[in-house]
Amino acid sequence: MPKSKKDKLDELRKKIDEVDDKILNLLNERASIVKKVGEIKKKIKANFYVPYRETEIIKRLQSKTKGPFPKSAIKPVFREIISACLSLEKPLKVGYLGPPATFTHEAAMRYFGHGAQYIPFRSISEIFDEVYKSRVDMGVVPVENSTEGVVSHTLDMFINYDLRISGEIIIPISHCLLSKAFRKDDIRTIYSHSQAFAQCRNWLEKNMAHCAFIETKSTAEAAEMASKDEKAGAIAGENAGKIYDLNVLERNIQDTNDNSTRFLIIGKVEHKATGNDKTSILFSIKDEPGTLYNMLAPFAKRGINLTKIESRPIKTKAWEYVFFLDLDGHISDKKVSEAIEELRKYCIFLKIVGSYPKFTKEVLK
């Protein structure tokens, strides 16, 4: 007697259960091996977190897959597996701009997975200091927004601290008007970070001109403040509203639909070349005729693409500047290292902040 469709469905589901059991057993086997690796690392005093190792694993698996499991799903799935296994060696401590539910917190969790231990700090300078003193293993800091530009305080910190960039992540930023109130007309005060206010400037002028605007250290802190006053609102992400039990009165109030923020992953470990990398440097160049040419020529004649140039004043010297430059390629690439060495001849000082994998959208899926 032929099997019914329900019988076939039950049979296939049974096979899925059997495969899931095998996956679970293999995950436990992997975790056991990782624990042994951790024991060896302790004995030889090696870094327990090596960012390029994760990159190598995912790149190898993506090159081997033949489907039908989506290639784009390999990175997020294995990021969580790696994160969970790493926590068995030692919880990876990641500092971020807090409190919980900031966009920096979201970026950190998307980059490191749920197995890490996330520690909130009140300022960008505190994150740099804690990473530098090895109280946390890695830090996540905002560096620029597609609407409002560079976060200058982050760039300044690279002058003061000898840390390395080992990665980057760009996430879309969607702002909401949150409040204990049920109507935006009942709101008299709005809290938020200065960047969020700037990113929602037009909407606020049109819809909330009757309100007082008070700056906070983060959007999550703004949500916390709004949760204590029924006539207050906050500009923050929807997750912050859930944590602080606020109503979402308006969504997507940012002035541009493609609003996004770039975050840097900072630490003490160098990242190996992957073939799709970016290098960041900072330098101060001698003030003399041809300065601009001397700054750009080493890269132009080698065909190296410069993706960003920013300048910051040196606070201890009037009218002198430090330049921050992002370029395509890894410091181990011959033409990149040669270009930087040629530039160094014209510099008062030059510092390589890091070579690291370029952001790809796959990390967000």
- If you ran DSSP here, which 8-state letter would residue 49 be given? -
Position of tokens 């749920």?
Answer: 114
Q: Give the angle subtended at the CA of 274 by the CAs of 268 and 278, to the nearest 5°.
A: 65
Whole-number Å distance between alpha carbons of 222 and 192: 5
Whole-number Å distance between alpha carbons of 102 and 223: 10
HSE-CB of 254 using CA atoms within 13 angstroms: 20
91: cis peptide before it, omega within 30°? no
90, 184 in Cβ contact below 8 A? no
210, 196 in Cβ contact below 8 A? no
B/e letters for 256-280, b = 16+ CB within 10 Å, e = fewer, are eeebbbbbbbbbeebbbbeeebbbb
Catalytic positions are 261, 263
Closest CA to 322 of 171, 188, 152, 179: 152
Whole-number Å distance between alpha carbons of 193 and 187: 18
Whole-number Å distance between alpha carbons of 169 and 111: 7
Q: Give the angle subtended at the CA of 27 by the CAs of 21 and 29, to the nearest 5°.
A: 105
177, 249 in Cβ contact below 8 A? yes
Kindly give, in sequence order, each residue whose CB lies less than 8 Å from that of residue 277, ignoring residues fewer than 6 positions away.
271, 328, 329, 330, 355, 356, 357, 358
Whole-number Å distance between alpha carbons of 252 and 173: 9
61, 82 in Cβ contact below 8 A? no
